[in-house]
């Protein structure tokens, strides 16, 4: 829909300032755009291209490689049910089947009310808590069909307080205070760090 | 010494609910190792970690101190990139360390950067791990405010920004050169080798050390307690402790820190203090010993110690510390397909043998599972596998830039070698299978390398 808002552009510039090369901020800035709109709108990607200094096609090239970036609108809540080996052994396929029946959609689709997008995903690093899922990247462990139904009720009623809208990842941002920042290390500077000078290391020339 | 008596190194603070806060970290000895390191010459810190024989905990098991020494002399600046892109199926340990003890990682990053002479550090966290990102962001904010990170750390000449960076969902980014590509804002595709180590040319083509989360989490303990105390733990070639996630059909799945080389697979899977045995007292069928990439182990491997060289020699690897247990009710073909499906989905597409090969392995396994298998399919699977990883040996040879392709060969070779009859039973469900349709259309003989049944994983002891 939109370019980054003035507030988000300010955040974007702060993120950009941490990197020796602007292009490195591309993925964090795409997350910021997705946080704003819930998906990656074309205008937002063009804006990000300007900010990092590359073409919109290069932005799309990177964005389309990564599973988390949505190029079309999705539901307010994206429920990712893990169906990889550890979860499969403990009933993930049955859980996904139940979810499809319950929501009336197939994996990859969004419910008619726009509330929930259902996805079957690969390993999300909670194998000892199988079967597990993430809703907007918040974990739910050892899921049962009953727990899944309860989760959907809670999401639709706005009762899942730990789950922000889709697009928002971390709700805490890193802040580097200006008076403490060491600053990005320019790769073309050739600068030897102060504490290595005169140090008898294999690394010193 | 009982298997549970070894000290906890990386999980020592897990008993505290507030272990992720600076207050708790400082109250439990946190940042003392940084102070100690800053009083030492950087080279002495490198020597200490080398002497500890700390093996990388990401999967490849390369000695961290040796890696640190690979930077070419006189080339500046150097970077440190922390690999927190934990994605290998079965693996769950780095996320736990990021969520529960982020300051320990930050202190490890600081000590490593001081020792190697890195001018900036990037902490790359897997995109899907929102809580880990929050905990690390909060910890970094606290650490900056307290003077542990940033300019003139603790009043010394050592200055370092640690930038929290996060991905967007791609397993391949766990490969260190793909991680660097991703950090440069590109598609996460591995770089052509050589150079084999980013220490030579890494981020922005500058010398770059890439270390795993668990690896760096060990560093403060090593500096605080000394290499000798660390290498007193574990076996000859595998020092210290390791985190293992035990999942699947066990009574008490969990992540356990155990002494390297002393504990066995049987201890981890069956001991009441660990995974507590197979659910419902069923029989063990197979287990994946080191993440989805590793060849499967069976009953006869249970008494192997969790020790790198021993496990390597037995035809598999400890990899990323992920044990997935399958009981007798498991359909070996289904399990095999599920693991292969992962690699097919996550192949970045750069190398043809991997892109096409993993896709075909997945499709053939799917049709076998669906009762559409052909009599020639087992040979075809092995032929495709042989094209990705010639000879299907262990350790694998590869026709690809990175090990992802050969990773998909492990479950295929393991399952066919051990459970061939299960594949045949699935194929027999297809009424047309007896016609022996040759999907290659050539009827060519299988490669000579495959005339003997799949080689690896066969010998043990």
Q: Residue A201's pLDDT is what? A: 46
A97: which residues sit within 8 A by CB, 6+ positions away? none
Residue A83: closest CA among chain B residues belongs to which residue? Answer: B338
Distance from CA of B261 to the nearest CA of A (A): 22
- Residues on chain A touching B88 (C-beta within 8 angstroms): 123
- b/e per residue B105-135 (b: at least 16 CB within 10 A): bbbbbbbbbbbbbbbbbbbbbbbbbbbbbbb
- Residues on chain A touching B124 (C-beta within 8 angstroms): none
Residue B317 burial (CB count, 10 A): 21
For residue B345, give the nearest of A122, A134, A183 by CB distance.
A122
B3-17, B115-129, B255-269: the lowest-pLDDT one = B3-17
Subunit contact B91:A19, Cβ cutoff 8 A: no
DSSP letter (8 states) at residue B296: P
Task: Label the pairing between strands B254-259 and B284-288.
Answer: unpaired
Structure tokens at A201: 């290391």
For residue B166, give the nearest of A20, A28, A202 by CB distance.
A28
B278 and chain A in contact, CB less than 8 A: no
A192 and B76 Cβ atoms separated by less than 8 Å: yes
pLDDT in tens, A183-192: 999 999 999 9
B103 and A102 Cβ atoms separated by less than 8 Å: no
pLDDT in tens, B324-370: 999 999 999 999 999 999 999 999 999 999 999 999 999 999 999 99
The secondary element (H helix, E strand) that includes residue B162 is strand B161-166
Compute, in degrees rounded to 10, the torsion defined by CA atoms B406, B190, B128, B59: 50
What is the average pLDDT across A49-74?
A: 98
A85-99, B13-27, B257-271, B438-452: the lowest-pLDDT one = B438-452
Place of tokens 């946190």: B30
Residue A53: closest CA among chain B residues belongs to which residue? Answer: B185
Subunit contact B150:A182, Cβ cutoff 8 A: yes
DSSP letter (8 states) at residue A68: T
ipTM (interface pTM): 0.96
Give Cα B132 to chain centroid, integer Å: 18
- Residues on chain A touching B322 (C-beta within 8 angstroms): 127
Residues 245-274, chain B: which have Cβ within 8 Å of A?
A: 245-249, 253-255
CA–CA separation, B271 and B261 (whole Å): 16
- Give percent of chain A with pLDDT exceeding 70: 96
B279 and B251 Cβ atoms separated by less than 8 Å: yes
Q: Residue A109's pLDDT is what? A: 98
Distance from CA of B231 to the nearest CA of A (A): 23
Residue B79: closest CA among chain A residues belongs to which residue? Answer: A185
What is the average pLDDT across A21-35?
A: 98
Distance from CA of A26 to the nearest CA of B (A): 5
Subunit contact B120:A20, Cβ cutoff 8 A: yes
CA nearest neighbour of B46 among A199, A193, A182: A199
Q: How far from B8 is each of B205, B217, B233, CA to CA, in Å?
A: 38, 12, 11
DSSP letter (8 states) at residue A66: S
Q: What is the largest CA-CA distance in chain A?
A: 69
B84 and B125 Cβ atoms separated by less than 8 Å: yes
Distance from CA of B445 to the nearest CA of A (A): 33
Q: State the burial class of residue A183 (Cβ atoms within 10 Å of its Cβ: 0-12, 13-18, 19+).
A: middle
pLDDT in tens, B159-198: 999 999 999 999 999 999 999 999 999 999 999 999 989 9
CA–CA separation, B371 and B351 (whole Å): 31
B328 and chain A in contact, CB less than 8 A: no
B200: which residues sit within 8 A by CB, 6+ positions away? B70, B71, B72, B194, B207
Residue A64: closest CA among chain B residues belongs to which residue? Answer: B187
pLDDT confidence tier of residue B107, bands split at 50, 70 and 90: very high
Subunit contact B160:A182, Cβ cutoff 8 A: yes
Residue A29: closest CA among chain B residues belongs to which residue? Answer: B185
Backbone angles phi, psi at A89, to 5 degrees: -60, -25
Chains A–B, number of C-beta pairs less than 8 Å apart? 262
B68 and B46 Cβ atoms separated by less than 8 Å: yes
B450 and B420 Cβ atoms separated by less than 8 Å: no
Subunit contact A172:B138, Cβ cutoff 8 A: yes
CA–CA separation, B377 and B215 (whole Å): 42
CA–CA separation, B398 and B193 (whole Å): 13
For residue B170, give the nearest of A66, A126, A127 by CB distance.
A66
Place of tokens 């993925």: A27
pLDDT for B44 beyond 90: yes
Residue A99 burial (CB count, 10 A): 25
For residue A66, give the nearest of B134, B156, B169 by CB distance.
B169
Please confirm whether the linkage preceding B194 is cis (ω < 30° from 0): yes
Place of tokens 């990607």: A45
Mean pLDDT of chain A: 95
What is the average pLDDT across B36-47?
A: 97
pLDDT for B2 beyond 80: no
B281: which residues sit within 8 A by CB, 6+ positions away? none
The secondary element (H helix, E strand) that includes residue B79 is strand B78-84
Subunit contact B169:A67, Cβ cutoff 8 A: yes
Subunit contact B144:A180, Cβ cutoff 8 A: yes
pLDDT confidence tier of residue A1, bands split at 50, 70 and 90: low
For residue B73, give the nearest of A129, A138, A202 by CB distance.
A202
SS3 A142: coil
């Amino acid at each position: 829909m939109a370019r980054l808002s003035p507030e988000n552009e300010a955040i974007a510039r702060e993120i950009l300032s941490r990197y020796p090369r602007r292009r490195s901020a591309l993925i964090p800035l795409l997350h910021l755009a997705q946080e704003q709109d819930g998906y990656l709108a074309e205008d937002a990607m063009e804006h990000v291209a300007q900010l990092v200094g590359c073409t919109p096609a290069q932005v799309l090239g990177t964005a389309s490689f990564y599973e988390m970036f949505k190029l079309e609108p999705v539901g307010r809540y994206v429920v990712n049910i893990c169906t990889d080996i550890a979860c499969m052994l403990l009933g993930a396929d049955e859980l996904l089947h139940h979810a499809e029946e319950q929501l009336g959609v197939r994996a990859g689709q969004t419910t008619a009310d726009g509330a929930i997008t259902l996805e079957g995903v690969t390993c999300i690093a909670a194998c000892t808590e199988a079967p597990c899922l993430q809703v907007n990247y918040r974990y739910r462990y050892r899921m049962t069909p009953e727990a899944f139904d309860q989760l959907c009720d809670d999401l639709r009623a706005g009762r899942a307080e730990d789950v922000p809208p889709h697009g928002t990842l971390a709700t805490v941002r890193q802040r580097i205070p200006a008076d403490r920042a060491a600053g990005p290390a320019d790769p073309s500077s050739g600068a030897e760090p102060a504490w290595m000078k005169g140090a008898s290391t294999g690394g010193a020339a | 010494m009982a298997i549970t008596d070894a000290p906890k190194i990386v999980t020592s603070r897990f008993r505290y609910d507030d272990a992720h806060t600076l207050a708790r970290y400082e109250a439990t000895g946190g940042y003392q190792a940084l102070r100690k390191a800053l009083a030492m010459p950087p080279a002495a810190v490198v020597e200490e970690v080398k002497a500890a024989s700390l093996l990388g905990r990401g999967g490849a098991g390369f000695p961290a101190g040796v890696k640190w020494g690979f930077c070419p002399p006189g080339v500046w600046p150097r970077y440190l990139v922390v690999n927190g892109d934990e994605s290998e199926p079965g693996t769950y340990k780095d996320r736990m360390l990021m969520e529960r003890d982020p300051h320990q990682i930050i202190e490890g990053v600081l000590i490593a950067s001081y020792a190697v002479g890195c001018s900036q550090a990037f902490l790359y966290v897997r995109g899907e791990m929102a809580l880990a990102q929050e905990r690390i962001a909060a910890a970094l904010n606290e650490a900056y405010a307290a003077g542990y990170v940033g300019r003139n750390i603790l009043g010394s000449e050592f200055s370092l920004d640690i930038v929290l960076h996060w991905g967007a969902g791609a397993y391949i980014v766990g490969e260190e050169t793909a991680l660097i590509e991703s950090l440069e804002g590109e598609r996460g595709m591995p770089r052509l080798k050589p150079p084999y180590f980013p220490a030579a040319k890494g981020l922005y083509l500058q010398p770059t050390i890439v270390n795993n989360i668990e690896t760096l989490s060990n560093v403060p303990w090593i500096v605080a307690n000394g290499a000798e105390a660390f290498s007193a733990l574990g076996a000859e070639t595998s020092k210290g402790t390791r985190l293992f996630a035990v999942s699947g059909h066990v009574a008490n799945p969990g992540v356990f820190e155990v002494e390297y080389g002393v504990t066995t697979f049987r201890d981890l899977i069956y001991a009441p203090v660990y995974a507590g045995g197979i659910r419902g007292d069923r029989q063990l069928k197979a287990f994946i010993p080191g993440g989805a990439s590793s060849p499967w182990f069976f009953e006869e491997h249970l008494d192997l110690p969790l020790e790198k060289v021993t496990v390597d020699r037995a035809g598999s690897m400890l990899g990323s510390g992920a044990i997935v247990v399958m009981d007798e009710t498991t359909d070996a073909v289904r399990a095999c397909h599920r693991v292969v499906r992962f690699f097919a989905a996550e192949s970045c597409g750069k190398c043809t043998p991997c892109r096409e090969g993993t896709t075909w392995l997945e499709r053939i396994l799917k049709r076998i599972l669906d009762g559409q298998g052909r009599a020639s399919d087992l040979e075809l699977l092995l032929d495709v596998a042989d094209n990705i990883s010639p000879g299907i040996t262990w350790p694998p040879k590869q026709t690809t830039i990175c090990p992802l392709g050969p990773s998909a060969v492990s479950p295929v070779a393991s399952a066919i070698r051990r459970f061939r009859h299960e594949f045949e039973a699935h194929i027999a469900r297809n009424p047309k299978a007896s016609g022996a349709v040759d999907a290659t259309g050539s009827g060519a003989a299988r490669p000579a390398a495959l005339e003997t049944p799949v080689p690896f994983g066969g010998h043990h002891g």
